[in-house]
Structure 1
């Protein structure tokens, strides 16, 4: 959206000006003006008052150009410095360049409102596609948010792409590019169980977070397949941080003596696990096996080299762009699941006798 043309010498009023005057976010102003998303009565009143005071009017010409694009693809992530996101971003950038598009990167630091604002701004900029990368929360409010994103972008001639996040519904106009998350966790847990491990700690549980929910599902399913009852006290909640892996491992060692393997929710967490075991004098893999998930490049540089689940990061990024930009072609699917596999290295062995 854009404000109507102002007289010469006067700055044109924008939706950002309205948001600042009302003391709300840009997406909130957009919700009020579009009238297709629930907004609190008091908030709606503040926004409409700011609209009147600033004499803001949505530009009908800009809306008529909703089908026009700016030859850009937007990539929205939690934190671009995280290896998981950085390598997917590389795939997005490579494919965007091949398709003659520029690539814009937006970071949210995990703030849902910032995610909404980024999508709204990219819609206003007529981006060809807006790619949300990484897991989200399963709450109904978040599902509705994604549905709202998808419909707004579709109306503007753009496309919402969920990369590494499940579909919010069959009737939602979005492109879904997933990887076999639960299958990777199942394969890894099965690998440990087949070697004889029976007490396998899982570090990094985040209730309701889609990425972790699927990995825990695979972990549990493998135990069921091997007819082993998982110990619920070995599923430990935590963040995707190296520091968490370190502290959680120290706590685990102080509490338990029967654990023979640790499944870290990500490779970054696994790096912290290995550090804690080394500081505690626990040999890997002779006394404790350690595995991770993601297969980022640093796993080869850890000591010992980490056994982990490989995710096709760059292929995820390239596929997300390709499917979104060619969505009108009948042979191009709009929901794909890419495979994962175990990368076996030096951090796993049978449990000590």
Structure 2
């Protein structure tokens, strides 16, 4: 290089260093600052960040160096407008935030989604809503504004208008739960019908013939599948389940407590209660104890999920182990495969469950519960 060339390069370097200090002292750095320091146009900076193949490696390196000098961090929303991707998964909860995050099942499912997302370079954006209508509005806005590339729906409802809208608008999504009558939808689930059948068979083998069910919202597919598993298995044994012994409402401790108090006040109360969730089962046990009943001598109780608290109850809870974290992981893998241009191996993933027999189930009382 000639003497004049070296001097020119030195001046450019000095100018870049001076410019870098000036930008840093002015506060917030913009894409125009990066462009000025790298001696390119702002559109070139955007293309370099987006990985556009038309940008040479030398130019890309110069842009990255300028970004590093200035401490520039690209705005995620602005970047998504250029790349048409946010590298974010939307998580849609069907209940208010204070309920959702307090429930062990959803906490574990979210852990599973988050671990797979992080391993694949994706972030999470969680939406919660008070009503189904608000849930649908928030989910669609999140996807159409490109704040998320696809969505994981953490519940399945029969005739869900949100699923129909997502299909119509061709947004990528995966549902945690079985989706009836929608073979094209990607979903992950466990066989809730079979899980409930396992519970009933266990109680029948112990000698129970008078069962009751305390469950969640009736429009949720998980509630419908578990209730059908109970009633069908009883019918096969020549037994029935009276309507007054079916108490559906919500997966909350309060619902389990309230409905068990009602069930145990009946003239001929059940000898066993199938609670469709461990949180419900805790409410069932509390209500039974307040009536002076001993578990399982006077009343057997079975839950679902095998939450961490199940082993801490007194006595430890008999329950169905549902792989919540693994369900979340499977849902995230399906969605990321779709977003990254891979075709998931199957549309419907069904994970196995396990009946865990502990201390809350035993033979029925000789004369029923008084």
Quickly name the TM-score band, shorter chain normalised: 0.7 to 0.9
Distance 2:269 2:132 in 1: 39
- The alignment status of 1:105 with 2:116, answered yes or no, reads no
Distance 2:311 2:240 in 1: 32
- Please say if residues 123 and 153 of structure 1, whose CA atoms lie closer than 8 Å, have aligned partners that are also in contact: no
- Please say if residues 202 and 235 of structure 1, whose CA atoms lie closer than 8 Å, have aligned partners that are also in contact: yes
Distance 2:263 2:183 in 1: 42
**SS in structure 1 opposite 2:334?**
helix
Structure 1 residue 286, shift from structure 2 partner? 0.8
Task: Summarize the Cα distance change of 1:217–1:289 in structure 2 as closer, same or farther, 3 Å threshold.
Answer: same
Partner residue in 2 for 1:47: none
Q: In the alignment, which of 76, 79, 87 is matched to residue 71 of structure 1?
A: 87
Name whichever of 329-338 and 256-265 sits farther off. Answer: 329-338
Task: Summarize the Cα distance change of 1:285–1:100 in structure 2 as closer, same or farther, 3 Å threshold.
Answer: same
- The alignment status of 1:166 with 2:179, answered yes or no, reads yes
Task: Summarize the Cα distance change of 1:228–1:153 in structure 2 as closer, same or farther, 3 Å threshold.
Answer: same
Partner residue in 2 for 1:344: 357
Distance 1:150 1:309 in 2: 33
* 1:241-260 equivalence runs, <5 A: 241-260=252-271
- How many residue pairs align between the two structures? 281
Question: Deviations 1:254-308 (Å, cap 9, x if unpaired)?
Answer: 1133411011121111101111111111000011100111221111111111111
Q: In the alignment, which of 308, 313, 337 is matched to residue 319 of structure 2?
A: 308
Distance 1:123 1:90 in 2: 26
Structure 1: gaps of 5 or more residues? 1-61
Structure 1 residue 105, shift from structure 2 partner? 1.5
Greater fraction helix: 2
Structure 1 residue 103, shift from structure 2 partner? 1.5
- Please say if residues 119 and 130 of structure 1, whose CA atoms lie closer than 8 Å, have aligned partners that are also in contact: no
Distance 2:148 2:180 in 1: 21
Distance 1:271 1:67 in 2: 49
- The alignment status of 1:151 with 2:172, answered yes or no, reads no
Distance 1:338 1:66 in 2: 39
Question: Deviations 1:172-228 (Å, cap 9, x if unpaired)?
Answer: xx4211211111111111111121100011012643331211111100121123222
**SS in structure 2 opposite 1:326?**
helix
Task: Summarize the Cα distance change of 1:161–1:270 in structure 2 as closer, same or farther, 3 Å threshold.
Answer: same
Structure 1 residue 229, shift from structure 2 partner? 2.4
- The alignment status of 1:266 with 2:277, answered yes or no, reads yes
Distance 1:82 1:187 in 2: 24
Task: Summarize the Cα distance change of 1:208–1:175 in structure 2 as closer, same or farther, 3 Å threshold.
Answer: same
Q: TM-score scaled by structure 2?
A: 0.71
**SS in structure 1 opposite 2:169?**
helix
Structure 1 residue 114, shift from structure 2 partner? 2.6
Bigger radius of gyration, 1 or 2?
A: 2
